[in-house]
Amino acid sequence: MIGGLFIYNHKGEVLISRVYRDDIGNRRNAVDAFRVNVIHARQQVRSPVTNIARTSFFHVKRSNIWLAAVTKQNVNAAMVFEFLYKMCDVMAAYFGKISEENIKNNFVLIYELLDEILDFGYPQNSETGALKTFITQQGIKSQHQTKEEQSQITSQVTGQIGWRREGIKYRRNELFLDVLESVNLLMSPQGQVLSAHVSGRVVMKSYLSGMPECKFGMNDKIVIEKQGKGTADETGKSGKQSIAIDDCTFHQCVRLSKFDSERSISFIPPDGEFELMRYRTTKDIILPFRVIPLVREVGRTKLEVKVVIKSNFKPSLLAQKIEVRIPTPLNTSGVQVICMKGKAKYKASENAIVWKIKRMAGMKESQISAEIELLPTNDKKKWARPPISMNFEVPFAPSGLKVRYLKVFEPKLNYSDHDVIKWVRYIGRSGIYETRC
Amino acid sequence: MPYLGSEDIVKELKKALCNPHIQADRPRYRNVIQRVIRHMTQGVDVSSVFMDMVKASATVDIVQKKLVYLYMCTYAPLKPDLALLAINTLCKDCSDPNPMVRGLALRSMCSLRMPGVQEYIQQPILNGLRDKASYVRRVAVLGCAKMYNLHGDSEVDGTLVNELYSLLRDQDPIVVVNCLRALEEILKHEGGVVINKPIAHHLLNRMPDLDHWGQAEVLGFLLRYQPRSEEELFAILNLLDSSLQSSSPAVVMAATKLFLVLAKEFPHVQTDVLVRVKGPLLTACSSESRELCFAALCHVRRILRSLPGHFSSHYKKFFCSYSEPHYIKLQKVEVLCELVNDENVQQVLDELRDYCTDVSADLAQAAIFAIGGIARTYTDQCVQILTELLVLRQEHITSAVVQTFRNLVWLCPQCTEAVCQALPGCEENIQDSEGKQALIWLLGVHGEIIPNAPYVLEDFVENVKAETFPAVKMELLTALLRLFLSRPAECQDMLGRLLYYCLEEEKDMAVRDRGLFYYRLLLTGIDEVKRILCSPKSDPSLGLLEDQAERPVNSWVSEFNTLVPMYSKACWAAISSSQVSEPHGPEPSGNGVLSASGSLVLENKEELQPLCDSGSFLLVPNGQLTAEQFEKTWLSLEVAHQEVLPWQGVAHPDTIQTALQVVNIQAIALSKAGVQPWKAYFSAQDGAGCLFLTELLLDPEPSQVHLSVKQSQAKAEALNSFISVLKTVIGTIVGIKS
């Protein structure tokens, strides 16, 4: 259980402080202890859990905001961190980016949220949708609250399905499905893949009336390690079209028993946006870009760098927001860059050449070459050559995941699967995409 | 800064709150209240506007109500009398037709942490428990826990407990979980909430309805339940199978723990479970949420200690990425070191070698120590890598490599020669105490096969005056004396100089004492010196023995998914122990067991150290009990320790009383001298408030004394320390008499 929750800005000033239990002692002491020992600490953060005077401080950083949960008990660490993430998600759902300005402007709302989400340090209701009933940003007057709203509060949690309330109506039944993937790569200088994985999410925005029953299908060759049940026989049949998922988890609304027996994903979706599924793959990943670095040291004061990037996907698709970051030594005095495409700039403050390309089609190649002048130093230490990192966005799923169908059934209301407008979108982004040089 | 001029701010706020124009204008009024809260958050003491805030609570505006209640909960302990004024409004809100208002008022009322509030909240809580809105019931259930927490000493109300147990059948899932939480707190002293068969099965059936938090906590409560039969056990495991696939890492972890604990008797089931959670753990380890990733890595390390090959095929998942935070990299290095096998050792070592030259000295050293750990199995490859690192002539790298060498030579004597060849030249690149100690130790123990060992040590002897670390000087003394035994001609002169310096000029008492000890030892003759100093130079069995206790899965299941794997075990022991005397900071557990440099040198150190009584155990003087209190406590406790000690002659109450007084053990009652049987009672208290009650019973016939000790809190460590203190004193008294 959580004894208190504090939010600080980067200077260590308290923006929000909420104490739930007395056992964490004097509020000021706890607040200050974290500031002094972690935010103002000189060395790097050693651990996301810090113990100060027998009190554990769990922290999470979002841009330059620190969120800290404080407890005196021997708690379940994964749960506290998950709670902090959830808190961030809920706040983001209410006012967007978590920044100092937003927190200051919404501090009343945050106190309201903290009041509902935690009671006596125990997590209560934290679903954004369900919370909306309790949070009264506009200050609804108590007498004027309609009968309907009141009954909602009562019925919301008494109903069979905790994540969806009854009687939702839309004029247009719409569904948005986003497959969001982040592809991570660690490549050796010789072009050998050291490790690569995709972590993906299927996010759904549903605007459907009533209590619809949805069925979702994808091209899986699921290798969830089920005890004893072999899946080898199907691999040959589905061939290249299917993908192997290492591990996947679903939103609470998915009936896992059905998934285990029939491998079908069926659920009654919450209203609005939610994360249907989260998965990870490591096999047969389409690496959208290949980085080929070439570094040559010419004498002691000059360095020649040539980097080629190759796009490896269908020529008809376009990658966007491409950024290649080529680190330079600390004693760089000047840089000359020539690139065929996009813009490249040497950023002395970041010790890197940043090369940006707005758009790039598949199966293309582009190259940058740079001459780096170095100041002579008597430092014996060799430059440790940090890896070249990349950012990009591509309109397909690097894991190869495809949505095969998404069907909607609503037995009580008279709309069928054909009446629902469905949108599917694939976005692949770079996670940590590094090539050593 | 918010602290400056806070008086003006408070004055201004007070004025604004009192202003009738503002009070009439709702948005403006709320705005002022917001400002009060803002200042409260920043740490300004705004308690003096309490009265005006209480007035502001009588409003129909819910947001304003919430803010005012927040304010009251913060300052109620400071202004209990004024807070009572607010109770009236709160009570009225508790019967509001709107369930949200009822819940809010009840929650706030229970959170007013002030004495005397109990009598006002009891009735609203009882009403709340039977409210038709689940929202109010949730609040009321936790309110019971809060009420009990306010008055921890009060008797547990049986009817309330029964009511809460019956609410476990509530249809709202959060009410159910809150009931468990509340019962756990209320029944803390009786071992928490009781999970019997019907409750356990009821909870298992409700699992799918609960949210993540609820599931994770219920899984924790189910740990208490012991299934009656094997069939029931496996039925439970089957029911909970889906929890292992939950999307919430917290639920997965809690489920894993429950499986491991329930399957205590079935090692193969435990292994199966650990195989099943491999996927989720690896996902967490490569997730973008750094902190969860850290927690997962800590648990992976724990699992690896029992099942070393468990993650070996996934070793690439634990390669560090450049942009990862420091703490994750350090954990990954530790993991890599534990999962090597014949197939991946080359790749892992190549990867670790890259980290050795990392910009962060911490990571570089951790990687070197990790290679040292791997070297226990794959000695030749690792020694070669480490030797190559010495060429870089970096201070932190050389120091870590030499420390690794020292540990390695002790465990794997076959690499001694290779290590000794690599050593020359290292002394120029070592500045820190640990590194110097390691180098000096190696030179001393294996000096006979390092040609220039005496000359390197001579440099240290020359500069001994400028040496800042006493530990290095001590190490130097020992090493030089050892080397003197094997190469007397080259060392005699400088040994003389060093001893002279230690005896005549050294300020540090420990160093001086050791110098003096060696000096006297040398006077007794060279054979005696050899007998004491020529201890074995290696002990390969140590590597096999260490950590054996941690091996079986059952040894750590109870700590799985708590904070223990997050801090190291030693740190946790320091944190959770109730002894206030020594605050330990979290220490990096970099170089394994041999990190304390002295632990390798197996010489008779005890002779040098003054008899230290009992480490950090401290008895506090104010443990004075009255005879009545003593008697009551004595009767209520079990005997924790009994022992018979030798004794001579009659007892002198005064001597014993005075002697024990010195170590803060108070006499409660003593028989007069010469009375048969002679009895005495003593009490003492340690820093953590644990009471030790002692009875001495003198038996004249075989002339011995019976000792029985009772302890108010069961703490074996403290008990042992106390008994050793007691025995020392009694031994001393007997000694004086004879």
Q: Rounded mean pLDDT of A367-371?
A: 93
Q: Between residues B678 and A10, which one has the greater pLDDT?
A: A10
Domain residue spans of chain B: 5-220, 433-542, 627-734
- B64 touching A (Cβ < 8 Å): yes
ipTM of the modeled complex: 0.73
Chain B residue numbers with beta carbons less than 8 Å from the beta carbon of A350 are none
For the segment A377-381, the average pLDDT, to the nearest whole number, is: 67
C-alpha of B294 from chain center: 18
CB proximity list for B388: less than 8 A, separation 6 or greater? none
For residues A150 and A154, give the distance between their C-alpha atoms in angstroms, rounded to a whole number.
7
**Does B567 sit within 8 Å of A51, measured CB to CB?**
yes
Pairing of strands A122-123, A352-361: unpaired
Give every residue of chain B whose pLDDT is below 50, as ranges: 1-2, 578-615, 738
Residues A177 and A307 in one domain: no
CATH code of residue A39: 3.30.450.60
Tell me, rounded to whole angstroms, the distance of Cα A61 from its chain centroid. Answer: 14
Shared-domain flag, residues A308 and A266: no
pLDDT of residue B211: 87
* A407 is known to lie in a ligand binding site: no
Enclosing H/E stretch for B139: helix B134-150
Class in CATH terms, B627-734: alpha beta
Q: What pLDDT score was predicted for residue B544?
A: 60
Chain B residues whose beta carbon lies within 8 Å of the beta carbon of residue A126: 211, 213
| CA–CA separation, B615 and B426 (whole Å) | 37
Would the CB atoms of A119 and B138 count as touching at under 8 Å?
A: yes
Q: Alpha-carbon distance A49 to A70, whole Å? A: 10
Is B172 near chain A, with CB under 8 Å? yes
pLDDT in tens, B211-248: 889 999 999 999 988 888 888 988 998 888 888 888 88
Q: Which residue has the higher pLDDT, B163 or A264?
A: B163
Whether chain A has a CB inside 8 Å of the CB on B421: the answer is no
Cβ separation of B66 and A115 shorter than 8 Å?
A: yes
A412 is in an annotated binding site: no
Domain membership of residue A63 as a residue range: 2-125
Indicate yes or no: CB of A431 within 8 angstroms of CB of B359. Answer: no
Question: CA of B307: how far to CAs of B285, B302, B570, in Å?
Answer: 18, 9, 21
Residues of chain B with C-beta less than 8 angstroms from the C-beta of A389: 322-323
B5-220: which CATH number, 3.30.450.20, 3.30.460.10, 2.60.120.590, 1.25.10.10? 1.25.10.10
Three-state SS for B80-122 is: HHHHHHHHHHHHHHCCCCCHHHHHHHHHHHHHCCCCCCHHHHH
Predicted TM-score (pTM) of the model is 0.71
Asked if residue A226 has pLDDT above 60, the reply is no
Closest CA to B423 of B38, B104, B406, B413: B406
Comparing CB atoms, the residue among B66, B283, B290 nearest residue A48 is B290
- A99, A125, A151 — which closes off a domain? A125
Assign residue A333 the CATH number of its domain.
Answer: 2.60.40.1170
What's the rounded Cα separation, in Å, for the pair B671 and B679? 5
Residue A169 labeled ligand binder? no
Same domain, A7 and A25: yes
- CB–CB of A51 and B146 under 8 A? no
Cβ distance B41 to A16 less than 8 Å, yes or no, reads yes
Contact A387 B319 (CB under 8 A): no
> pLDDT value at position B533?
83
Q: Please give the pLDDT value at position A239.
A: 42
Among A355, A368, A363, which Cα is nearest to A304's?
A: A368
Query: Are A200 and A310 part of one and the same domain?
Result: no
Task: Count up the domains in chain A and report the number.
Answer: 3
Phi, psi values for residue B417, rounded to 5°? -65, -45
User: Is A347 marked as binding a ligand?
Assistant: yes
Residue A283 marked in a binding site: no
Q: Is residue A136 part of a domain?
A: no
Question: Nearest C-alpha of chain B: how many angstroms from A2?
Answer: 12
| CA-based nearest distance B504→chain A, Å | 41
Query: What's the angle, vertex CA A10, arms to CA A6 and CA A11, rounded to 5?
Result: 95
**Terminal C-alpha separation, chain B:** 71
Question: Quick one: tokens of B542?
Answer: 């140590």
In this predicted structure, the answer to whether residue A346 has a pLDDT above a threshold of 80 is yes
pLDDT at A143: 40
Q: Which one of A59, A107, A117, A124 makes the best mutation probe of the B interface by having the most chain B beta carbons within 10 Å?
A: A124
